[in-house]
Amino acid sequence: MKENISALMDDALDDAAAHAAITDLQADKALKDSWDTYQLIGDAMRGGAALQLDVRCEVSERLRDEPTVLAPVRYGFLPARKLRHYALAASVACAAIVGWMGWQQDESEMVVAKASETQVFSPATAVDAPYLLAHQEMAGTIDGSQRRVAYVPARDKAVH
Amino acid sequence: MQFRSCIFFGVLLAPLVHAAPDSDWALLGKAAQAARQQTLSGSYLHQIGSASETFRIQRAVSKGKVRERRVSLDGLPREIIRHGDTLITAAPDEHSLLAAKISSAKLFPAILPDDVAMLADSYALSRLGSDRVASRECQWWQLKSLEAGQRYTQRVCLDKTSQLPLKWVTLDAQQDAVELFSFIDLDDRAPRAKVSVQPAYPLSATSSVTAVKAVEGAESLEIKGIPQGFRLLRSVMRKMPGHDAAPLVQHRVYSDGLAIFSLFVEYAKDAKPAPHLTHGPISVATDNEGEYRLTLVGDLPDSSLQAIARNLRLVKKS
């Protein structure tokens, strides 16, 4: 029967079968619950834009059944042994969080380092582009009076 | 009749309403001067597309003579030194020296021309909002091409006190930044130590300092069709980098004050393959004119440079 409900959701039933499935849905509460669950899953997978869970009736009923407590709750001190256990658990959790944060930070730093390696200007392009290089050399002399000189490196051949 | 008069005077006054007041251009002139002369030390970011690099800059002015040193902090080591009217590019090896030459094409913050008045022929100046750059309050100004799409839009954020350009953005027609300069930190007091103008790298014993080879020569060709607003800055017969044995090429440089383009004229049979790549805002266009090949390289939108290339005409001088 649930297969029919699933097929109904996917719009894969013909008119007669769809009509039968809807009749079953109205008659069977378990099937109705399944239908609601499938709809919820579908909404969640579509990004939650239409995610709706109507629990107002259930919550109201539960609240109505809850007893009204007028006396305040008495909070006593925890036994020392229990406290030690809680402290130990908190320390472990704290260490785990700090470790996880550090690991995340290392990852992001690695990404930044990798990105910067690939994003530095490369003069190799200019070697293959004499027009571009010639333009760049002259472009800085906009006022005409400027004299441009290039120092030739000690161990390399001149490239002017 | 009255309505017609309104239209007549409206048409006459429209350019005056749109034009920036003289005080705005005067302020831009102060910015140009501060950009070249103001004492400062700091570091700035240069970004082209997704690539970026940083430079440290120090500048001192003594008896009107500028001593400026900028050093690259990322990638290949480079130095660009300004001493008076001399600009020196220095690097530890040949490869890095090429990068230094490329980096020296625009020497932020000195991007505005000395004579900002020439910009009024091609750009409309307008005031934008306020901002904060390198912990300083600054005012944005925009220079937009008078002819839509012909040139990139330039935006500059000027320090509210000194008018020093703190940030410079070049925008394309889609308002995307194609190039950006921005101070990261800045101190406009004099540098504590004397700014050295000696390159840090050792020189070759034989070559020492070498001037860029550019041979002034007689030109037998006249160029027609250069767009309005652009003026000829230099014209030389030169050897192309890496092609020492090849015939000389006529290299002319034009500028409207901000946008600069080079025109190379050579025999088509001698022409070298034009680069397919572009470098940030720089585009490349080629066109054949008779037996000659014209190659244009400049910081103009691609479509604009292609249009210039198509409209150029060569006339042989008699």
Q: Tell whether A157 lies on the interface with B, counting CB pairs under 8 A.
A: yes
For residue A149, what are the CA distances in angstroms to A140, B80, B211, B254? 12, 10, 5, 21
CA distance B21 to B14: 13
* Across A126-134, average pLDDT: 69
What CATH homologous superfamily does B221-316 map to?
MucB/RseB, C-terminal domain (3.30.200.100)
Q: pTM (2 decimals)?
A: 0.66
Mean pLDDT of chain A: 61
Percent over 90 (pLDDT), chain A: 0
pLDDT for the residue A49: 39
Count the Cβ atoms, other than its own, within 10 Å of residue A97.
10
Q: What is the pLDDT of residues B260-295, one digit of tens each?
A: 999 999 888 777 766 665 667 888 898 888 888 999
pLDDT at B84 over 60: yes
Tell me whether the CATH fold assigned to B17-187 matches the one assigned to B221-316: no
Enumerate the residues of chain B whose CB falls inside 8 A of the CB of residue A125: 275, 277, 279
* Across B236-249, average pLDDT: 81
Which residues, in sequence order, are bridge partners of residue B138?
B131, B159
Enumerate the residues of chain A whose CB falls inside 8 A of the CB of residue B51: 119-121
Give the minimum alpha-carbon distance from A137 to chain B in angstroms, rounded to a whole number: 6
**Nearest residue in A to B89, CA atom:** A150
pLDDT at B12 over 60: no
**Nearest residue in A to B99, CA atom:** A123
CA distance B65 to B36: 11
Tell me which residue in B209, B241, B253 faces A151 most closely, judged by beta carbons. Answer: B209
Give the minimum alpha-carbon distance from A157 to chain B in angstroms, rounded to a whole number: 7
**3-class secondary-structure state, position B115:** coil
* Across A120-133, average pLDDT: 58
Tell me which residue in B99, B208, B241 faces A134 most closely, judged by beta carbons. Answer: B241
Instruction: Find the range with the poorest average confidence among B88-102, B201-215, B298-312.
Output: B201-215
Which residues, in sequence order, are bridge partners of residue A145?
none
Question: For residues B280 and B48, is the Cβ–Cβ distance under 8 A?
Answer: yes
Most confident of A3-17, B31-45, B182-196: B31-45
Two tokens at B60? Answer: 């001192």
Instruction: Find the range with the poorest average confidence among A114-118, A137-141, B122-126, B304-308.
Output: A114-118
Which residues, in sequence order, are bridge partners of residue B288?
B293
Single-letter amino acid, residue B255: S
Looking at per-residue pLDDT, the higher value among B133 and B50 belongs to: B133
Residues making up chain A, counted from first to last: 160
Q: Tell whether B215 lies on the interface with A, counting CB pairs under 8 A.
A: no
Q: Where along chain A do its domains lie?
A: 2-65, 78-139
pLDDT at B17 over 50: no
- Residue B114: DSSP 8-state: S
Query: 3.40.640.10, 3.40.50.2000, 2.50.20.10, 3.40.190.10: which CATH number matches B17-187?
Result: 2.50.20.10
Give the minimum alpha-carbon distance from B216 to chain A in angstroms, rounded to a whole number: 14
pLDDT at B207 over 80: no
pLDDT for the residue B161: 95
For tokens 């004492």, what's the residue? B39
CA distance B111 to B281: 14
- Render the burial of B62-96: b for 16+ CB within 10 Å, e for the rest: eeeebbbbbbbebbbbbbbbbbeeebbbbbbebbb
CA distance A116 to A93: 35
pLDDT for the residue B180: 95
**C-beta atoms of B211 and A148 within 8 A:** yes
CA distance B129 to B136: 14
Q: What is the pLDDT of residues B18-43, one digit of tens each?
A: 567 889 999 999 999 999 999 999 99
CA distance A34 to A5: 8
pLDDT for the residue A99: 59
Residues 6+ apart with CB under 8 A from A56: none
Q: What is the pLDDT of residues B113-154, one digit of tens each?
A: 989 999 999 999 999 999 999 999 999 999 999 988 899 999
pLDDT at B190 over 70: yes
Q: Where along chain B do its domains lie?
A: 17-187, 221-316
Residues A43-48: contacts with CB within 8 Å, 24+ apart? none
* Across B221-239, average pLDDT: 88
Strand order in B231-238's β-sheet? B231-238, B249-255, B260-267, B292-298, B283-289
Instruction: Find the range with the poorest average confidence among A33-42, A45-54, B51-60.
Output: A45-54
Two tokens at B304? Answer: 């604009």
Task: Kindly report the backbone phi and psi dihedral angles of residue B130, in degrees, each rounded to the nearest multiple of 5, phi listed first.
Answer: -95, 160
* Across B65-93, average pLDDT: 88
Count the Cβ atoms, other than its own, within 10 Å of residue B52.
17
Enumerate the residues of chain B whose CB falls inside 8 A of the CB of residue A117: none
pLDDT for the residue B146: 94
CA distance A150 to A141: 14
* Across B208-214, average pLDDT: 42
User: Which positions 124-153 of A are in contact with B (Cβ < 8 Å)?
Assistant: 124-153
Give the minimum alpha-carbon distance from A74 to chain B in angstroms, rounded to a whole number: 56
CA distance B314 to B92: 42
pLDDT for the residue A106: 45
User: Which positions 186-205 of B are in contact with A (Cβ < 8 Å)?
Assistant: 199, 201-205
Mean pLDDT of chain B: 84
State how far Cα B302 lies from the chain centre.
16
